[in-house]
Amino acid sequence: MAGRKARIIAVVNEKGGVGKTVTVINLGAGLSLNQKEVLIVDMDPQFNATKGVGVNPGEDSPSVYDVIKLPEPVPARSAILKTAWEHLDLLPSHVDLSGIEVELADEPGRENRLKEALAPVLDLYDFILVDTSPSLSILTVNVLALASEILVPCQTQPYSYGALDELLETVSTIKEEINPDIRIMGVLATFFDQRTRVSNNVLESLREDERFQDKLFDTVIRVNTTIAESAYYGKPVVFFRRSSTGAADYLALTEEILT
């Protein structure tokens, strides 16, 4: 259906294992359950988001790699797949994506490859959610050049909290040099464990941090083993087990973003 104009949300944190991929998959699923047309773009060569929605990246099937490569990229439309769930599409990743840094090294405008490639499909979706790898490669720069909003998952662990400084610096550099319109939409506390003092302390620090006033989501994502289990089965947790706390938390996040 045409006539939409996608909100483009990049889920970013240079730190690994903080819940980026799980957030992309489950926020995507939550939005699709609310009748929103959603495209998940997997910009991580490890293709965890691709597997997380039940797609096995084929050796030869077109991926986001083919869409941004030069020369002769393929149109985004021909690489986008339907998932098993209504309103939820995927632009899959591929291991070849890891070589793109070198391949595009001498190309002018290489940071805008993804933006150019997705321009023709923006009016097909309400939301485009982009998963990124835990490094500031040309892939992530492409994502930041495209996105209008950034969602930052932050594990409720001291190291993760400390790493937010770096992220804020990256964002202001991108704002100055590549994408003046980008803004931090929100910081999402993840892996919260009520029973541990460290989790509670970090959450309190986030809540008191002046840099994140009005930015910290009220929703907190708790540690929940069903989340990891559902990833193993290639299903978003909101479809895998609706009664889990993982599903409840991600549906609450969806609600918060929609209102």
Ligand X SMILES: Nc1ncnc2c1ncn2[C@@H]1O[C@H](COP(=O)(O)OP(=O)(O)OP(=O)(O)O)[C@@H](O)[C@H]1O
Residues making contact with Mg ion (CB under 5 A): 20-21, 48
239 lines the binding site for ligand X (CB under 6 A): no
Residue type, 250: Y
Residue 158 dihedral angles phi and psi, to the nearest 5°: -55, -40
Residue closer to ligand X (CB basis): 124 or 253: 253
Residue nearest Mg ion, CB atom distance: 21
- Return the H-helix or E-strand segment holding 81: strand 81-82
Q: Which of 9, 7, 8, 20 is nearest to 163 (CA)?
A: 20
DSSP state letter for 87? T
Residue type, 211: R
44 lines the binding site for ligand X (CB under 6 A): yes
Q: Which does 134 bind (CB under 5 to 8 A by kind): ligand X, Mg ion, none?
A: ligand X
The structure tokens listed for 154 are 């932050």
Pairwise CA distance, residues 252 & 65, whole Å = 33
From 2-10, 12-20, 76-84, 198-206, give the range in contact with ligand X by CB under 6 A: 12-20
Binding track over 47-66 against ligand X, x by CB under 6 A: -x------------------
The widest CA-to-CA distance across the chain, in whole angstroms, is 54
Binding track over 103-142 against ligand X, x by CB under 6 A: ------------------------------xx--------
CA 220 to the chain's CA centroid: 17
In terms of phi and psi (left: phi > 0; alpha: psi -120 to 50; beta: otherwise), the region of 246 is: alpha
Q: Report in angstroms the alpha-carbon separations of 117 from 80, 83, 114.
A: 12, 21, 5
Binding track over 178-217 against ligand X, x by CB under 6 A: ------------xx--------------------------
Pairwise CA distance, residues 240 & 203, whole Å = 28
Shortest Å distance, C-beta 98 to ligand X = 13
Applying CB under 6 A, which of residues 8, 27, 203, 221 lies at the interface with ligand X? 221
Shortest Å distance, C-beta 52 to Mg ion = 9
Applying CB under 6 A, which of residues 130, 227, 247, 251 lies at the interface with ligand X? 227
Applying CB under 6 A, which of residues 9, 22, 88, 152 lies at the interface with ligand X? 22
Binding site for ligand X (CB under 6 A): 16-22, 44, 48, 133-134, 190-191, 221, 223-225, 227-228, 231
